[in-house]
A and B are shown apart, each in its own frame.
Chain A
């Protein structure tokens, strides 16, 4: 099967400043995204996420290496017919109304006539901008511009969506709408490749994750393979304990605290948590919660980032 995105040995160095000082943005990036999956491209600011995406959509020429979209080189403008792209902090001509923006963008993608009008109405409804149809983009809030950006990305029903920080500028409801939209797009068989540094968003919707640091891919795979799966701690919450029993449990716990609904303990492993649960029940108390804590994507990211090279602040950033 032809991969939705295929990147081999991609490198990019910018020349910055008056002296044309070289600044490495990408170094030997190799990546494959299979059709139909939601791929989260994560990394700190300046890691090279936007550079990679801009190479994929033809805004930047690769320095070394190759990249292709559904088998077509990114150097071929026709490869972009299969792509819906949402830029980071999108911007549209301020004098246009949303339907005019969509009509313009649709014509650039080869749509026309009643088909274009119908699709424009559909996607405007889908992103929740129907009521803003009479406003010009100049009067849009940041979140509304972001929604319009999503609308133009899905307008021509492309099989691949490349979204650069799609949750940026959105309120919690907007972020949930975007997550729901991505899930719906996956259900329809689309491939979604999106960059973000908001890791909980990745954990909630991605099938595959790629971690970029200092222009290098430090990990790629499903969430299950990237997270080591081991139990880091076990949280036990219980009520109805006497002060004396609670104190004795606190001595074996890593952390403990008391609140209006009882005590909360954090034990280093399952065995200690098990003993605490037995002691609680034996003392006439009630178990409210028994929950193992596993490694989060954020912890995994920090773990992988530490030996990989430059800290986020030191990594190359195009200017």
Chain B
């Protein structure tokens, strides 16, 4: 990371904050979280958990949609509208450009998560009338969600750097969804002797992002214990995975002719 990447990240954040899509999704997610107050009335005794579950899930789902669609749009637009010409003709490497875009987009989704944390805190406080839920694990869950969203952003940047926006969205959503689904089935596939093509499962285990590892909603909802070591290891995995995808993006974009 250098001053050039930071300048590009700042400009990307500025551009993202002018996107109507961001606000539409954010308002919808916030309304859904606030609406969990009503939904929680349908159960007995678990209202607080339902509120936390709905709030965290909407943060995750809408955060992913923002990361994918905004990530692809902002990178593709630089190429389509040729705003990148004057940028890349300066002493800016392709790596600086890709990393700058990535950082700006991660800052955008992080801001989105911060707003959702505020909404969640307000809703939970309105229901419980106490702040006992504001523990370190509560914030750790959302912090890990930012890492999880950064994986989606990295895929969006990678695919937008060499293909059309539509294909980039399809590829990114497919890989991110595969990451969630595989996290659910990997243990079964790896341990069940009935599963034949174990080598393929192992390849997928390494290649696909393990989104389940970065998803700690259960710790938030059921109060599962979360140690600092576990949190740091999970965060390190997510950051390393994002870094690897981003590196691939830099390599691909460096080889691309900007016509």
Contacts and interface: CB of A to CB of B under 8 A. Distances in A.
Interface stretch (A91-99, A124-132, A200-208, A271-279): A91-99
A61 B94 CA distance: 12
A77 B91 contact: yes
B21 interface: no
Of A58, A89, A152, the most chain B CB neighbours within 10 A belong to A58
B93 interface: yes
A73 to B, nearest CB: 13
Contact of B88 (A59, A81, A95): A59
B87 to A, nearest CB: 6
A90 B83 CA distance: 7
A88 to B, nearest CB: 9
A32 interface: no
Contacts of A57: 88-89
B83 A108 contact: no
A77 B87 CA distance: 12
Nearest to B6: A107
A78 B93 CA distance: 9
Nearest to A84: B89
A108 B85 CA distance: 13
Interface stretch (B10-18, B40-48, B139-147, B156-164): B10-18
A58 B257 CA distance: 9
A212 interface: no
Contacts of B89: 57-59, 80, 83, 85, 87
Interface in A22-63: 54, 57-61
A105 B86 contact: yes
A89 B86 CA distance: 11
Given A77-B93, A80-B91, A109-B90, A87 B259 contact: no
Interface residues of A, number: 32
A89 B81 CA distance: 10
A107 B257 contact: no
Contact of B83 (A79, A80, A92, A109): A92
Q: How large is the interface on B (under 10, 10 to 19, 20 to 34, 35 or more residues)?
A: 20 to 34
A59 B78 CA distance: 13
A318 B259 contact: yes
Contacts of A108: 4, 7-8, 87, 90-92
A92 B77 CA distance: 11
Given A93-B11, A108-B4, A149 B91 contact: no
Interface in B1-54: 3-4, 7-8, 11, 14-15, 18
A10 B91 CA distance: 22
Nearest to B93: A77
| Chain B binding surface SS class | loop
A140 interface: no
B198 interface: no
Contacts of A58: 88-89
A93 B86 contact: no
A89 B85 CA distance: 10
Contacts of A318: 259
Contacts of A113: none
Contacts of A152: 86
Contact of A91 (B8, B81, B88, B257): B81
A176 B15 CA distance: 35
B167 to A, nearest CB: 15
Given A77-B92, A107-B3, A110-B91, A61 B83 contact: no
B258 A59 contact: yes
A95 B86 contact: no
Contact of B257 (A61, A78, A89): A61
A68 B88 CA distance: 17
Given A59-B257, A108-B7, A318-B259, A92 B91 contact: no
A147 to B, nearest CB: 14
B82 interface: yes
B14 A60 contact: no
A57 B85 CA distance: 9
Of B7, B8, B81, the most chain A CB neighbours within 10 A belong to B7
A81 B90 CA distance: 6
Contacts of B82: 87, 89-91
A79 B221 CA distance: 55
A99 B232 CA distance: 42
A106 to B, nearest CB: 9
Ranked nearest first, the 3 interchain pairs of A and B with the lowest CB-CB distance are: A85-B89, A57-B89, A87-B85
Interface of B: 3-4, 7-8, 11, 14-15, 18, 81-83, 85-93, 255, 257-259
23 contacts: A14-B257, A14-B259, A54-B257, A59-B258, A59-B259, A60-B257, A77-B92, A77-B93, A79-B91, A80-B92, A81-B91, A83-B89, A87-B89, A90-B85, A92-B86, A93-B15, A95-B15, A95-B18, A104-B7, A105-B86, A107-B4, A149-B86, A152-B86
